[in-house]
Structures are given as C-alpha cells and as structure tokens.
C-alpha cells in the first residue's frame, strides 16, 4: 500500500514564488538567478534559514541547484533523486535536469550555452564557495557575462523565513575527546607556517567542532554549531552566538587562548586584518564572507584540520569499536522485533521502522541522535537511494519483496552508518542474484590490500567489478569518510571513480570510510550493503608500506538473500568469518529474542 504523496506546499504556490522571484530579478537587472543547496559553511544538512531551494521548488531532496531565467526554470539533481524529483516537480513550472545524463549539461555549461552576451547572473555570495565562484566566473567569462554575488533575492520574497538556530554549545570531553584544543591549534599553526600564512579562517562547522572539542545541534544529525574560527600565530577567535555558551565554557576557552565574539562579528574582524596572508579552503569558504577581507592575500588550500581529523588516532578507533558494539546490539534488538512483528501480523510501515530503530539505539550508552535521516525503502522505494518516507507518503511492509534500511547513530564515542537489506515474505532468484552481486562488491573492497597513500577514488573499481562483469552499475560513490562523533559524511578521502582527479584523497592509516556498493532497479527494488571500514597497516616489503581494512560495523548480512553458487570459496570464507566475529562481539551485549536472532542470522553457510 502506498499513501498518496503530498509535499511541503501546493504546486500553485511554487508557480507564484517563481513569479515573485522573476519580479525581484527584473528589479535588480538580473537575467539568471541561482539558488543553491548551501549555507555560509557549505554544510551538507542545512538549517531551515538556508533551505531556500526547498522552499522555492518544493523538492525536498538534500541537494540540487535551481536556475531561473525570464523564460526558464530548472532543477539540477543527480541520479539519486531523479525519481523523487519527477514526482515533486510535476506541474510546478520547473524542468527536471537529470545531472549525469549525457545530454544534460552542468549548470555552468547550460548558462554558458543559453545566456546571451553580457547578461548578469545572480547568486547569494554568502552561500557560494570561492571555488564554485571561480568556476562559474570562468564559464560566464566566455559569454562576457557578469556574476553578481551581493544580492539575496529570497530575502525579499520569503516573509516567513525561519530564524537562525540557537541550540546550546557543549564540550566534547575526555574520555571521548582524545586530543586537546592546545594540540589541535598547535598542529594548525604548524600547517599555517608551512603554507606561509599568518592567519587561517575556518568556516566548515565540523572542522571548528573538531579543533575546539565542542559540539552542538544547529544542524540536523551533525553535532555542530554555526560559527567561524579565525586563527592567528598567537590568537584565536570563535565567532558564535554567545547566548549558546555559558560563562564557564567561555572562560575555559579563554584559558586555552580562544576569545569568543558574536557570529556576525567575523565580517569586521576580516576587514580589520593587516596586509598579510590568510589561509582558506576555497571549497569550504564563501565569496560573500571573503568580500570583507579587503587587505589580505589569500592562500587557497584544503583546511589542514580536514586532513587531521580524517586520520583517527588509536584511542579514537578504540572508542569507535565500542560504539559499533553498542550500535550492533541495538540493531539485534531492532531486527528481532521486526521479524516477530511481521510473523505476528502487526502493522509495520517504513515510518515504524524509523521509530523503532531510533528507539533501539536510544537505549544504548552514549547515544545522542541519529547520524542522518533513516532510509527505509520497501520494494520500489528502495530503488531511490535517498528515499525518505513521510507521514504523507510511505509504504506498509506487507506481501513479498526486499526492504532496504540505511541508518546510523551519533554516539559520544563514535558515528555509525549501516545499510542492510532483508527479505519480506517470499523473494525470487532475481532478488538473490542482485543481492549477491552487491555483496561480492562489498567484500571485494573490504578485503583489499593496497599501498599507503593510494588514491582512494581508484579503490572504487574493486567494489564495482562484479557488477560491471554483468553490465550493471550504480550511480553513487562506493565510500565516504566518516567523522568521530561528527559528520557522517567527511572528507577528504572518498571512494568513487568519478572523483579520480580530486586532490587530497590519499588513503592513510586511521581513516574510517564506508563500503557501500548498490544496485537499483527503478520501480522494482533497491539493494545496498554498507559497512564502515578503517584503514590499518597491512605490513611492509621492499615495495613499500601497505594498508588493509579493519571491519568496524557489526551486524549480520542476511544470508536468506544470497545465491550461494555465485560466491567464491574465498568470499564465502570471508562472510562466515565476519559473522563469527559479529557473534563473538555482540553476544555478550544482548539477550533473549535479540540473542536468538543474532545466533540464527550469524549461522555459517
């Protein structure tokens, strides 16, 4: 059963808002206007204040870019959201631009082709990264067009725009925090000196939280808070709403050499900088903010903190192992409940799954929140990689098919992210074939041995090879970095062949990454199997230093979905050894139905 979909506002309202935006464009002599899925910190999950793309278009996916001209309105999204966007944009006046299809140009290429000479393109510079602005100006320059970044047109047509979040900022303390603020600042200042910079501006919220051992809840699922951090050779200033911090915390920061000023005060501080060099990450700092830095010269490099925090130390990895046991125990309890509910004929929906899996995690020590919005997709819904059930649109779990569940938790001692697919009723040979091919890809990456500093994007082929051999593929990357009680998506490493030209993606010991190949058949089912893995030393030889992956995630992979003859003996041995370890680690943490479920699902095949 599928409940009829409804969306945040009627499509007629989308049409009205497009008309209002075009009036505002004409008043500012803007020929094309871009609305990004972004905020001043280039966050993945946006506070409501910066959800302008969703407000204007009605499309609720987490990414996408809207382009508006006098006679065209389009939304660019990648393959993860095509099916969702088609439904949500119906009769809205917005054209779906399926980014990634060979006949669909990128936003910049479309503008370059469709603009007339000397036209003006507008975008709110406070949410446009320096790197994106550079690329956009280069494209527009070929048409002698101008980029205008000092106008937020939504401000004029969004009267009930939400305010900025005001959640409290708290310390991430020992034993969970394993590095001091002094150590982190010292490492950053060494990097600044090596780069020839006297100042360093950080706007990326997860980097700031990591440097200062602070956490917040201004952004859904990510334990971060709105702020900027300006570091000098012997000073540091955190720009944040002071009402979020108690006097005791402000005093402790001051004792560590960190002053606290208002969130908006960063603009004046940048304007007052002397004629010296400022280190910024061009992908994570906006042109709107840097417009206030009149006197400095810019040094554009990856935030050093991004590299530092991506490499977890031994104490952090030990804490993550404990978090994985807690998470695994919660999943045992959830799946035991789920199978019993189906067997007893209890009503279960995609929404129920989200509620129950969150409740199971909440019973574990050190749990804080989900690490992202749970994806529970039954049959055709599972074919949308970023599907999200809502009270207006969801499926009941009944009949036959595959259920995909992608979920995770934020714990004080780590961040988890796991995807499992389970059978409901009777499944067929096609289900099992697809599942087993995806499993072969997941094992192929998990069992890899590779040179230290090997480009992570190139590892992607190991997970895709079994699918490619059958002329199959999936549209998303295979792996993303994962934070330590921080963002569930973290760089700089990523396992995706589409990122092979990206800099700073080398795999190093201590990096935690997801391993999540998939296969999606629109209108039928989706399969994704995801574990988190940690790069660890594999040994040395005359050919160099090598790494391998330690499996962190602890939860059975449903063997009822496997086509046994498609697995090699090595793959079967890997799976049985993994299940043996899962049982060994989780059995002491569960009892009753959860323990019985664990024993059944980890039985060797």
Q: What pLDDT digit, counting tens, does each position of 44-54 carry?
A: 999 999 999 99
Domain match, 318 and 299 both: no
Contact 587, 577 (CB under 8 A): no
Domain end (from 305, 321, 351): 305
Mean pLDDT throughout 280-308? 97
Res. 5: pLDDT tops 90: no
Q: Could you give the CA distance from residue 41 to residue 50 in angstroms, rounded to a whole number? A: 11
Alpha helices in 158-212 (DSSP H): 181-195, 205-212
Q: Does 378 share its domain with 504?
A: yes
- In a domain, residue 436? The reply is yes
337 lies in a domain?
A: yes
Please state, in angstroms and rounded to a whole number, the distance separating the CA atoms of residues 482 and 363. 23
Q: Does pLDDT of 248 surpass 80? A: yes
pLDDT at 7 over 50: no
Q: What average pLDDT does this structure show over 567-573? A: 98
* Same domain membership, residue 468 and residue 377: yes
**Region of poorest pLDDT, from 11-15, 119-123, 134-138, 283-287:** 11-15
Residues whose CB is less than 8 angstroms from the CB of residue 258 and which lie 6 or more positions away in sequence, other chains included = 181, 185, 212, 236, 237, 238
Percentage with pLDDT > 90 across the chain: 90
Question: pLDDT-derived band of residue 392, with 50, 70 and 90 as boundaries?
Answer: confident
Whether 2 is in a domain gets the answer no
Q: Which residues contact 471 (CB under 8 A, 6 or more apart)?
A: none
Percentage of residues in the chain with pLDDT exceeding 70? Answer: 98
- Domain presence at residue 4: no
- pTM for this predicted structure: 0.93
In this predicted model, what pLDDT tens digit does every residue of 445-472 receive, in sequence order? 999 999 999 999 999 999 999 999 999 9
**Domain shared by 513 and 560, yes or no:** yes
- If pLDDT is split at 50, 70 and 90, which confidence band does 11 have? low
351 and 482 together in one domain: yes
18 within domain boundaries: yes
- Tell me the pLDDT band of 10, cut-offs 50, 70 and 90: low
Query: Among 126, 157, 188, which residue terminates a domain?
Result: 157
Q: Which of 157, 182, 199 is the last residue of a domain?
A: 157
- Does one domain contain both 291 and 343? no
260 & 355 share domain: no
Q: How many domains does the chain have?
A: 3
Check whether 557 has a pLDDT greater than 50. Answer: yes
Banded pLDDT at 3 (limits 50, 70, 90): very low
Q: Is 433 helix (H, G, I), strand (E, B) or coil?
A: helix
Q: Please check whether residues 126 and 182 belong to one and the same domain.
A: no
Q: Are residues 552 and 493 in the same domain?
A: yes
Count helices and strands (H / E) in the chain: 18, 28
pLDDT tens figures, 477-529: 999 999 999 999 999 999 999 888 888 999 999 999 999 999 999 999 999 99
β-pairing, 525-528 vs 199-202, is unpaired
- Tell me the C-alpha to C-alpha distance, in Å, between residue 94 and each of 85, 88, 372: 10, 10, 28
Same domain, 91 and 191: no
CATH number of the structural domain spanning residue 217: 3.40.350.10
pLDDT in the model for residue 61: 87
Same domain, 461 and 597: yes
pLDDT at 2 over 60: no
Tell whether 153 is covered by a domain: yes
pLDDT at 8: 45
Query: Residue 12's pLDDT band (boundaries 50, 70, 90)?
Result: low
361 and 285 together in one domain: no
165 in a domain, yes or no?
no
CATH number of the CATH domain containing 397: 3.90.230.10
Q: Is residue 5 part of a domain?
A: no
pLDDT (0 to 100) of residue 87 = 87
Mean pLDDT (the chain) is 95
Q: What is the pLDDT of residue 83?
A: 81
pLDDT at 397: 97
Whether 446 contacts 540, CB under 8 Å: no
**Domain interval for residue 137:** 11-157
Please report which confidence band the pLDDT of residue 17 belongs to, taking 50, 70 and 90 as the band edges: very high
């Amino acid at each position: 059963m599928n409940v009829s979909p409804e969306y945040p506002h009627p499509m007629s309202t989308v049409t009205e808002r497009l008309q209002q935006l075009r009036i505002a464009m004409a008043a500012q002599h803007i020929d094309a206007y871009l609305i990004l899925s972004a905020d001043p910190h280039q966050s993945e999950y946006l506070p409501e204040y910066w959800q302008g793309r969703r407000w204007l278009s009605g499309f609720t996916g987490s990414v996408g870019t809207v382009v508006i001209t006098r006679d065209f309105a389009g939304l660019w999204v990648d393959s993860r959201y095509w099916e969702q966007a088609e439904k949500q944009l119906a009769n809205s006046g917005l054209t779906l631009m399926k980014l990634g299809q060979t006949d669909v140009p990128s936003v910049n290429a479309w503008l370059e082709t469709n603009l007339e000479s000397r036209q003006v393109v507008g975008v709110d510079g406070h949410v446009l990264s320096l790197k994106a602005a550079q690329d956009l100006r280069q494209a527009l320059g070929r048409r002698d067009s101008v980029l205008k970044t000092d106008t937020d047109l939504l401000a004029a047509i969004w009267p009930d725009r939400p305010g900025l979040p005001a959640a409290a900022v708290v310390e991430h303390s020992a034993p969970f925090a394993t590095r001091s603020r002094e150590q982190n600042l010292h490492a950053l200042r060494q990097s600044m000196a090596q780069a020839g910079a006297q100042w360093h501006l950080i706007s990326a919220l997860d980097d700031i939280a990591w440097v200062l051992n602070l956490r917040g809840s201004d952004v859904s699922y990510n334990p971060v808070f709105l702020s900027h951090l300006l570091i000098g050779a012997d000073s540091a200033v955190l720009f944040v709403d002071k009402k979020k911090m108690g006097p005791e915390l402000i005093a402790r920061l001051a004792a560590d050499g960190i002053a606290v000023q208002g969130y908006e005060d960063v603009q004046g501080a940048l304007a007052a900088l002397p004629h010296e060099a400022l280190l910024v990450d061009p992908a994570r700092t906006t042109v709107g903010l840097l417009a206030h830095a009149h006197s400095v010269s810019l040094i554009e490099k990856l935030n050093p903190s991004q590299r530092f925090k991506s490499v977890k130390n031994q104490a952090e990895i030990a804490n993550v192992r404990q978090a994985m046991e807690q998470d695994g125990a919660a999943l045992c309890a959830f799946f035991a409940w789920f199978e019993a509910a189906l067997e007893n004929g209890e009503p279960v929906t995609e929404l129920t799954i989200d509620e129950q899996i969150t409740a199971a995690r909440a019973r574990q020590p050190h749990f804080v929140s989900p690490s992202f919005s749970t994806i529970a997709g039954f049959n055709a819904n599972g074919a949308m990689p970023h599907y999200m059930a809502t009270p207006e649109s969801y499926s009941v779990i009944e009949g036959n098919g595959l259920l995909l569940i992608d979920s995770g938790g934020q714990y004080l001692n780590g961040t988890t992210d796991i995807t499992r697919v389970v059978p409901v009723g009777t499944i067929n040979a096609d289900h099992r074939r697809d599942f087993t091919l995806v499993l072969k890809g997941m094992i192929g990456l998990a069992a890899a041995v590779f040179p230290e500093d090997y480009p992570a994007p190139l590892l992607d082929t190991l997970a895709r090879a079994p699918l490619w051999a059958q002329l199959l593929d999936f549209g998303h990357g295979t792996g993303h970095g994962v934070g330590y009680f921080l963002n569930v998506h973290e760089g700089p490493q990523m396992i995706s062949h589409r990122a092979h030209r990206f800099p700073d993606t080398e795999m190093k010991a201590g990096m935690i990454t997801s391993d999540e190949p998939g296969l999606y058949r629109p209108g039928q089912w989706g399969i994704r199997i995801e574990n988190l893995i940690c790069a660890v030393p594999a040994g040395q030889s005359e050919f160099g230093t090598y790494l391998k992956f330690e499996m962190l995630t602890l939860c059975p992979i449903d063997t009822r979905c496997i086509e046994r003859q498609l697995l090699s003996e090595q793959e079967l041995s890997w799976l049985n050894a993994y299940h043996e370890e899962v049982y060994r680690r989780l059995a002491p943490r569960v009892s009753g139905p959860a323990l019985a479920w664990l024993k059944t699902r980890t039985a060797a095949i």
